[in-house]
Amino acid sequence: MGVTLPPFEHTSSGAIPDICSKIRKSYLSHKTRPIEFRLQQLRKLYWGLKDNEDAITEACRLDLGKPSFETYLTETGWCMNDIVFVCQNLEKWMADESAPDIALTNKLLFPKIRKDPLGAVLVIGAYNFPIQLSIGPAIGAIAAGCTVVLKPSENAPNAAAVMEMIFKKYLDPTCYTVIQGAIPETTAVLEEKWDKIFYTGNHIVGTIIAKKAAETLTPVTLELGGKNPAIITKNADPRLAARRLTWAKIINSGQVCVSQNWILVDREILPQFVEELKKVFKEFYPNGAKNSPDYGRIVNNRQWIRLKKMLDETKGRILIGGTMDEADRFLEPTVVQVDDVNDSLLKDESFGPLIPIYPVDNLDEAIRLANEVHDTPLGVYPFGNKKETDQVLREIRSGGASVNDGFFHASIPTLAFGGVGTSGSGSYRGRASFDCFTHRRSITKTPGWMEGLLAIRYPPYHGKTKKY
Ligand code: NAD
């Protein structure tokens, strides 16, 4: 492609306290308060992404073998679209809100909610959508008037280096900066004082972050994973389900937090569903996924080996796929029929292109099993008639849901996105991104002339009301 990418270099741990203190001082200088400043920085970020679209595409290709179409759809275009939406609405979101439904006397206090920025915030990104999951939360933080330290995932080093270059070249360096590194550097960053920590990644590290934040009562938003069920009832359209759920698992080679981890299928429709899956695989990849420019790779050898182990240990029957190539970090989308909830493919979130299918006798069994395996997944995907899909939404909790589809809800830029229970807490995107980094500060202003009216609140209380 002829793009030269900047090098990825870890930030020296010794430099981290000074970097963070500079970002805090800038927040305290109130530089990020005016809307004009925020909009200017967001527009610059937009142009940083637009001008460097080729570098981002190349970085995502090197890190994840990501097809350029997917990079535009889920990284560059995604973030640019979010910036436009935020810029169009920021003035409205920032405006004071008056208190609703209040007595006339209270109106005299001009009660309102002011939208204050939370302060100096830390955003820790994950590797699978390296740009979207780092820049996305940062957009909300900039819009809210916070200063930001971004710590991208070291597991997508090329994307991390491009983001650092964009921050340096396009944004105010005293307010927004990137710290690069892995566990030691992130641990050092977590020693600093933050007004909010926004973390995307696995639940084990999520727990570490939450514990560390609790020491200083720092608020956190945790965007974690989970074992998301798709459920196909006997009344579902098998072709539709096969196309949509295959798409949800082949995009980014299944390295998607919201894609289904298993598909619970009514036995009555199972043969047709498997036949449709076979057809869809042929349609999507006529020459096989390995030879297709439209299929990515697993991020690194460690993750590839983890996925291979899951597949090696399964007691299930491979129905489609199963080929792999370590040198290329290739793993074919693989459909496996399993019948034990303790199977290696169901014990942990696969976070790869493994598609376990679990036959069930009826919808009630599917719902019971889904709740047993994970009672608060990030997403749930029911296919069936309205009565059935309504029952799934009612009886399975989840961060979000797409009815008759795989994770499509997550692509709507104005819908808040987030988990519940062990799949995360807090949400972002659209208005929720602004709210995520905003303190809703209640304010009243009592006029001096009201003192006479207020005398009733002062002791002695005797005789001020009939009863007391
Ligand atoms: P990862 O390896 O990129 O790690 C995420 C971040 O955690 C990185 O920035 C990394 O440096 C940091 N980190 C790692 N160890 C740490 C430690 N000990 N202390 C502090 N920080 C540390 O990504 P991952 O965690 O492997 O991501 C996969 C998981 O994330 C899956 O469970 C997936 O479902 C989930 N995920 C969730 C979302 C969401 O929006 N809910 C999005 C993407 C991924």
Q: Give the model confidence (pLDDT) of 456-465 as tens digits.
A: 899 999 888 8
pLDDT, the chain, mean: 96
200, with CB counted inside 10 A (0-12, 13-18, 19+), is: buried
Q: Is the pLDDT of residue 468 over 80?
A: no
**123 CB less than 6 Å from ligand 1?**
no
**pLDDT at position 135, please?**
98
Of 20, 60, 175, 257, which one is the catalytic site residue?
257
In this predicted structure, what is the pLDDT of residue 158? 98
21 — pLDDT class (breaks 50, 70, 90): very high
Q: Which of 163, 196, 193 is nearest to 179 (CA)?
A: 163
Q: How far apart are CA 24 and CA 19, in angstroms?
A: 9
Atom of ligand 1 nearest to the CA of 154: 11
CA distance 277 to 243: 7
**Would the pLDDT of 88 be above 80?**
yes
Q: Give pLDDT, residue 8.
A: 97
> Is 120 within 8 Å of 144 (Cβ atoms)?
no
Is residue 28's pLDDT more than 80? Answer: yes
Active-site residue, from 58, 164, 223, 349:
223
Mean pLDDT in residue range 123-137: 98
Nearest-atom number in ligand 1 for the CA of 203 is 32
Percent of the chain with pLDDT over 70: 100
* Residue in 125, 158, 350, 139 with CA at minimum distance from that of residue 256: 350
Q: What is the pLDDT of residues 378-403, one digit of tens each?
A: 999 999 999 999 999 999 999 999 99
Q: Are 360 and 267 in contact (CB under 8 A)?
A: yes
Please check the confidence at residue 243 and state whether its pLDDT lies above 70: yes
Asked if residue 269 lies in contact with residue 363, where contact means CB atoms within 8 angstroms, the answer is: no
> Is the CB of residue 151 below 6 angstroms from any atom belonging to ligand 1?
yes
Q: Using one digit for the tens of pLDDT, what is the confidence trace for 276-304? A: 999 999 999 999 999 999 999 999 999 99
Integer Cα distance of 61 and 67 in angstroms:
7
Tokens (6 digits) for 274: 């498997």
Written as six digits, the tokens of 285 are: 């990849």
| CB distance 455 to 447 below 8 Å | no
Tell which residue, 131, 179, 122, 180, has the closest CA to residue 159.
131
Separation between Cα atoms, residue 124 and residue 138, nearest integer Å: 10
Pairing mode of beta strands 324-325, 330-331: antiparallel
pTM, entire model = 0.96
pLDDT in tens, 334-364: 999 999 999 999 999 999 999 999 999 999 9
Length of the chain: 468
> Token pair of 80, please?
């640019």
Is the distance from the beta carbon of residue 257 to the nearest atom of ligand 1 less than 6 Å? yes
Determine the 3-state secondary structure of 163 from DSSP. Answer: helix
pLDDT tens digits, 142-175: 999 999 999 999 999 999 999 999 999 999 999 9
Q: Ligand 1 pocket: which of 200, 220, 304, 310 to mutate (most atoms <8 Å of CB)?
A: 200
What does the pLDDT read at residue 1?
55
- C-alpha dist (Å) from residue 365 to 315, 341, 347: 21, 12, 19
Does the active-site annotation cover 257? yes
Helix (H) or strand (E) run with residue 231 in it = strand 229-232
pLDDT in tens, 32-80: 999 999 999 999 999 999 999 999 999 999 999 999 999 999 999 999 9
ipTM: 0.98
Beta-carbon contacts of 92 under 8 Å, excluding residues fewer than 6 positions away, are: none
Q: Is the Cα torsion angle 310, 311, 312, 314 positive or negative in sign?
A: positive
Q: Where are the beta strands (DSSP E) in 279-401?
A: 317-320, 324-325, 330-331, 334-337, 354-360, 379-383, 400-401
CA–CA dist 269, 234 (Å, integer): 5
- Residues 61 and 117 sit within 8 Å (Cβ to Cβ): no
Q: How far is the CA of 128 from the centre of ligand 1 (A)?
A: 9
Residues forming beta bridges with residue 231, ordered by sequence position:
264, 382
**Of ligand 1's atoms, which has the minimum distance to the CA of residue 225?**
34
Task: Give the lowest-confidence range in 102-116, 266-280, 352-366, 406-420.
Answer: 102-116
**Ligand 1 and 187: CB distance under 6 A:** yes
Closest CA to 138 of 127, 126, 125: 125
Confidence of residue 375 (pLDDT cuts 50, 70, 90): confident
Token pair of 62 as six digits = 């090197």
Contact 224, 202 (CB under 8 A): yes
Q: What are phi and psi of 331, to 5 degrees?
A: -140, 115
pLDDT of residue 106: 87
> Residue 178: beta bridge partners?
150
Alpha carbons 51 and 242: distance in angstroms, whole number:
38
Q: What DSSP assignment string belongs to 85-148?
A: HHHHHHHHHHS-EEPSS--HHHHTT--EEEEEE--EEEEE--SSSTTHHHHHHHHHHHHHT-EE
Our answer on whether the CB atom of 127 is closer than 6 Å to any ligand 1 atom is yes
pLDDT digits (tens, 9 = 90+) for 424-466: 999 999 999 999 999 999 999 999 999 998 998 999 998 888 7
pLDDT given at position 70: 97
Residue 46: what pLDDT? 98
Reading the block at residue 127, the tokens are: 């590797």
Between CA 46 and CA 51, with CA 49 as vertex, the angle to 5 degrees is 105
pLDDT band for 129, please (50, 70, 90 cuts): very high
| Of 152, 135, 130, 151, nearest in space to 23 by CA | 151
- Cβ–ligand 1 distance for 298 under 6 Å, the answer no
Provide mean pLDDT across the span 199-224: 97
How high is the pLDDT of residue 226?
83
